[in-house]
Amino acid sequence: MSSSCLSGAGGRTYGFEFEFVKSTSSSITRTSHTSSSPSSTISESSNSQLAISTRKPRTARKRPNQTYNEAAALLSTAYPNLFSSNTLKSFAKPSPQYSNGNISNTASFLDDSSDLLLPFRVFDTSSFLLHQYKPSCFAVEPKVVSVQHEKPCQSPGEISSRVNSLELEDHNNNHCGAGEDDFDAESMLDEEIEEGIDSIMGSGVELESSSIDGASSDNNPWSCFGGKLDFRLGLRRAGVRALRSADDGNWWNFPAVDILQISPKAVNKPAPQQSVAAAAEKAKKKKKKVEKPSVEVKNKNDELPKLNNIHAAVPKLNSGLMLKLNYDGVRNSWSDRGSPFGDDGSASDLPGNDVTARLSQIDLLWENGGMREASVLRYKEKRRTRLFSKKIRYQVRKVNADRRPRMQGRFVRRPISSSNAHR
DNA sequence: GGTAACGGTGTGAAGATTAGAATGA
DNA sequence: CTCATTCTAATCTTCACACCGTTAC
């Protein structure tokens, strides 16, 4: 409280320090200071007896329920049939502070309007619905919970009765607070803790823990949502935030590539060696079938049904958004270009010559940090050299705008004579 | 011919702060 | 009854953006 005594109204901590430095230099600069802040300086407020407070006197603070009571009184006046004040007894809680003194005018409000607190039976039934909700269903039927749960948590205040609100608070503390609030707060806090490059690109560890682990529904916190959030969370971190924050369109593209969506790790999470071995086996089988330059494209197309099966294992969220690709057209257009993944020839020599092996290779490269390190460096450099000042693109326009007549900051039409003279 | 850019001011939203009221020990 | 803490409405500050006419691009 000492700070409030010294510096006055708000924003004031650094404002006070600034003024203090100024006041040591000269009083002229202080008087020329045109800050709209009424807090003034410490010397002015403390030394001068004639200090005039420019602050508006604080209006009397309304007591709890007073606003509501006033509105209720108005409603009962306007619509006495709907908002009758005769039917129910008063629930006004006689606070000792209210009974002390200047409460006489508001007492009438309390007496009248508190009767209006409970004519809304609908709210009672809604609170009854709340009682039907059991906390155990959070683990068993998460979807039901998410639907039933949000409404009461959003606006417990809609149920204006103090009695009901007390019950609601219990419910909110038990259910929302323990379950959903923890979930939201922690996950969002995790996002905010991420800094810089991680907030844009997401880290490799993060990708694994959030999205890939998300598929195994046993010990996964997200699995309680029926698998709806599994893959989207990882993408949201790595992809959407990158789109929001990054303006260098190149470097986030690579890691945010739909590896998360199309990587087999997203489903089974095999050990890297296992995945490579499995990929090699698949490659052998497919090499038996086709041995043409376009083999990779076809193999990729062969992978598609598998990937579709992968997505089928997950509840179909956005089946309406699935792209319908012209696979034949893509195959034809790529048939003479070789592998879309990189160096022709050299890549085909690698073991595991198919999409799975290549994707796992990309993933390893990513985790080993070479490319990530470069991206981090580029990001830091860009952040260091960022310009926050406005950049004038056309100096001529600035000159013209400076010469242009204004009215309250807005450009106004130039008088005919001066415009002719200008031309 | 169309459009973006130019700068000072007004305005509303959002956040920060204060202080009075409520509450519990 | 007192005191400390919490809650919350009121107030203040900061920031972003629209607005305007002209004109270079």
Residue A232: burial class (beta carbons within 10 Å; 0-12, 13-18, 19+): buried
Model pLDDT, residue A382? 72
Alpha carbon distance A241, A206 (integer Å): 14
Strand B neighbours among A 340-379, CB < 7 A: none
pLDDT 10s digit of each residue in chain A, 423 long?
333 333 333 222 233 333 333 332 222 223 233 233 323 323 333 333 343 444 455 555 555 455 556 666 666 676 676 665 543 333 333 333 333 333 333 333 333 333 333 333 333 333 333 333 333 333 323 332 333 333 333 333 333 333 333 333 333 333 333 333 333 333 333 333 333 444 444 433 333 333 333 333 333 333 333 333 333 333 233 223 333 333 333 323 333 333 344 333 333 333 333 333 333 334 333 333 333 333 333 343 333 334 344 333 333 333 334 455 566 666 676 666 555 444 343 334 444 445 555 555 555 445 556 778 888 888 777 766 666 667 788 999 999 999 999 999 999 988 766 545 444
- Give the C-alpha separation, A148 to A145, whole Å: 5
Measured CA to CA, the distance from residue A195 to residue A201 in angstroms comes to 10
pLDDT value, residue A89? 34
Of all nucleotides, the one whose C1′ comes closest to residue A59's CA is: C10
Please tell me the predicted confidence (pLDDT) of residue A137.
32
Distance A409 CA to C10 C1' (A): 31
Q: Which two tokens stand for residue A169?
A: 């608070």
Dihedral over alpha carbons A208, A212, A213, A217 (to 10 degrees): 170
Distance A62 CA to B20 C1' (A): 10
* Phi then psi dihedrals of residue A21, to 5 deg: -65, -40
Res A400: pLDDT: 92
Contact A85, A112 (CB under 8 A): yes
Cβ contact A8 with chain B strand, < 7 A = yes
User: Which of chain C's bases lie under 7 Å from a protein CB?
Assistant: 1, 8-14, 18-25
Q: Assess whether A4 (CB) lies less than 7 A from strand B.
A: yes
CA distance A279 to A282: 5
Q: How many CB atoms lie within 10 A of CB A160?
A: 15
* Protein CA at A128 to nucleotide C1' at C9, angstroms: 31
Closest Cα to residue A180, out of A133, A241, A216? A133
Residue corresponding to tokens 């683990």: A139
pLDDT of residue A418: 53
**A413 sits within 7 Å of strand C by its CB:** yes
- The H or E element spanning position A395 is helix A395-403
pLDDT score recorded for residue A371 = 79
Q: Give the burial class of A229: count Cβ atoms within 10 A of its Cβ; 0-12 exposed, 13-18 middle, 19 or more buried.
A: buried
Chain A window 74-103, residues with Cβ within 7 A of nucleic strand B: 93, 95, 97-98
Backbone angles phi, psi at A407, to 5 degrees: -130, 115
Q: Which of residues 76-115 of A touch strand C (CB under 7 A)?
A: 96
Tell how strand A410-411 and strand A406-407 pair up: antiparallel
Strand partners, A406: A411
Given this model, what pLDDT does residue A73 score? 67
Per the document, the length of chain A is 423
A9 CB closer than 7 A to any strand B atom: yes
36-65 on A, CB < 7 Å from strand B = 58, 60-61, 63-64
- Sign of the CA dihedral with A209 first, then A213, A214, and A220 last: negative
CA distance A102 to A6: 31
pLDDT of residue A136: 34
Amino acid, single-letter form, for residue A135: P
Cβ of A11 near strand B (distance < 7 A): yes
State residue A411 phi and psi, 5-degree precision.
-65, 140
Question: Rounded to an integer, what distance in angstroms lies between the CA atom of residue A240 and that of residue A202?
Answer: 11
Å from the A246 CA to the C13 C1': 30
